[in-house]
Amino acid sequence: MADKSGLLQVYFGEGKGKTTAALGALLRAVGQGMKVLLVQFFKRKFTGELASLQLLPGVNVYQFGSGKFITGEVFPEDRREFFLGWQMVREALEKGEYDVVILDELPYAFYYHLLTWEEFRKALEQKDPGVEVIITGREVPEELIAIADLVSEIKLVKHPWDKGISDRRGFEY
């Protein structure tokens, strides 16, 4: 009999492939008839993966961000968007309507002081025990690594940007 307890997975680091790893988990879950919520924080861009996800049953995707790259101060729109997204996530975790909840780029919320560790921890404690949570981001708090059940660090070795090659349709977006 399969274990129905929802674990906490974290994919982090400077390398390319964190969201891709989470999407691999999404595909496996959907292939087993599970429902998945993907929430992308600080993003507002239609990408190839979002186009593909629209074709899959049981997947809901939401982006919460201005689409502007944050270089210091958080834009008021990003702040509003984050809180809307975080409210959705808290409800989804509690209600257990989804088998998997993916929080793409959530750690920026800690970095920009939009979310405290205690608020996050409380949301995890109140979640339906069957919900699997997957978090992606460049830098993650040590506390998150300590409580996660699966942690993978994605290391950048080299990237086409190093050769001056800009983002390519179908590969970077």
Predicted local confidence at residue 1, as pLDDT: 40
CATH number of the domain where residue 58 is located: 3.40.50.300
Predicted local confidence at residue 21, as pLDDT: 97
Residue 140 falls inside a structural domain: no
Residue 120 falls inside a structural domain: yes
Rounded Cα distance between 149 and 62, Å, is 25
12 phi, psi to nearest 5 deg: -140, 170
Residue 160 falls inside a structural domain: no
Rounded Cα distance between 108 and 16, Å, is 16
Per-residue pLDDT of the chain (173 residues; tens, 9 = 90+): 455 689 999 999 999 999 999 999 999 999 999 999 999 999 888 888 889 999 999 999 999 998 777 677 788 999 999 999 999 999 999 999 999 999 999 999 999 999 999 999 999 999 999 999 999 999 999 999 999 999 999 999 998 888 999 988 888 88
**How far apart are the two ends of the chain, measured CA to CA in Å?**
39
Number of compact structural domains in the chain: 1
Residue range of the domain that includes 49:
8-134
- Please name the helix (run of DSSP H) or strand (run of DSSP E) that holds residue 136, with its range, or none: strand 132-137
The one-letter amino acid code at 127 reads: K
